[in-house]
Structure 1
Amino acid sequence: MKWISTLALVALTACTGKPSFDDASLSDRELNLEEFFDGPFTAYGQFQDILGTVRRQFVVTIDGDWDGDRLRLVEDFVYEDGSTEQRIWTLTKTGPTVADQTWEGTAPGVIGVATGREQGDRFNWQYEIDLPIPSAEGETETLRVTFDDWMWQQTDDRLLNIAYVKRFGFDIGEVVISFEKE
Structure 2
Amino acid sequence: MRTLLLFCLMTLMAGCAGPQVSDYAREQPRLEMSDYFSGDLQAWGMFQNRSGEVVKRFHVAMTGTWEGEVGVLDERFTYSDGTTERRIWTLRKQADGSWRGTADDVVGEAVGHIAGNALNWRYQLRLQVDDSSYVVDFDDWMYLMDDQVMLNRARMSKWGVDLGQVTLSFYKPAAAKRAE
TM-score calculated relative to the size of structure 2: 0.82
The one-letter code matched in structure 2 to 1:175 is V
Aligned to 1:166: 157
Give the deviation of 1:67 after TM superposition: 1.3
Q: Greater Rg, structure 1 or structure 2?
A: 2
The one-letter code matched in structure 1 to 2:99 is W
Identical columns (%): 39
SS class of match (2:98):
strand
Contact 1:87–1:108 (CA under 8 A) maintained in structure 2: yes
- Alpha-carbon deviations, 1:70-128, whole Å to 9, x = none? 11000000000000000000010003xxxx43100110011111110110010011100
TM-score calculated relative to the size of structure 1: 0.81
1:116 to 107, 112, 118: 112
Distance across 2 between alignment mates of 1:107 and 1:30: 25
1:145 to 136, 146, 151: 136
Distance across 1 between alignment mates of 2:22 and 2:91: 25
Q: How many residues align?
A: 160
Q: Which runs of 5+ in 2 are unaligned?
A: 1-11, 174-180
Q: Which runs of 5+ in 1 are unaligned?
A: 1-11
SS class of match (2:40):
strand
- With over 3 angstroms needed to count, the CA separation of the structure-2 counterparts of 1:131 and 1:146, relative to structure 1, is same
SS class of match (2:134):
strand
The one-letter code matched in structure 2 to 1:117 is H
Aligned to 1:101: 97
